[in-house]
Structures are given as C-alpha cells and as structure tokens.
Amino acid sequence: MPMKLLKFVGSSLNDLRSFPDEVRREAGFQLDAVQRGGMPFDFKPMLNIGAGAYEIRLHIKGEWRIIYVAKMADVIYVLHAFQKKTQKTRREDIELAIRRFRQIGEGD
C-alpha cells in the first residue's frame, strides 16, 4: 500500500510546528502510522466534525490534539493541531475543525 500524502489545512502545520520538540516528534510518529494505513496509538473518532475525522491524543508535557481526516484514498488532511487545556475540547477548536473539514469537501 503506497504511503498517503499529508496535507495541512489552514494554520495546522504552523500550529503543529509550535508544539514542544518531544510532542512534535511523537505527533510525527503517529501521523506516519496513519500515512502507512495504520492507526495512531491513542485516538478517537470525531463524528461531530465529520465522517472520517479522528483525533490523535498526545499526553506529553500536557495534552495535545491533532484532528485529521483519512477517508480519501491517497491523502490525509490535518485539520487542526492544538494544546488541550480543559477537560472538554473547546468549542472554538471544534468549530475550526468543522470549517476546515468543509473546505476539503470543496476540493482543496
């Protein structure tokens, strides 16, 4: 199976680059697994964002999240990357991911 391409929507790449080194390294490892057709170590479906959306959960130096969509045959879209500071994911983070999910539906 060929490796899927990673595409970052909006500011998600810059947001991911702002993560601490250790967290960024683990995020890369988890995204690589997804690109190869696997699943991240700790994830959950994000049905409130859209079909095929998942959240990678990183528990290093706090809580970090990466929301992505892998339902396309050859590409994975990273919708949002952020630090989670509260028990419940902030509404702003969910709404941003939903907006970006809608953007990819319109063909990039």
Q: What is the pLDDT of residues 1-41, one digit of tens each?
A: 679 999 999 999 999 999 999 999 999 999 999 999 999 99
Q: How many C-beta atoms surround the C-beta of residue 105 within 10 A?
A: 11
For the chain, what is the mean pLDDT?
93
Find, among 75, 73, 93, the residue nearest to 83 by Cα: 93
Domains of the chain: 5-105 (3.30.2310.20)
Give dist(CA 51, CA 45) in Å, integer. Answer: 9
Query: What pLDDT sits at residue 35?
Result: 95
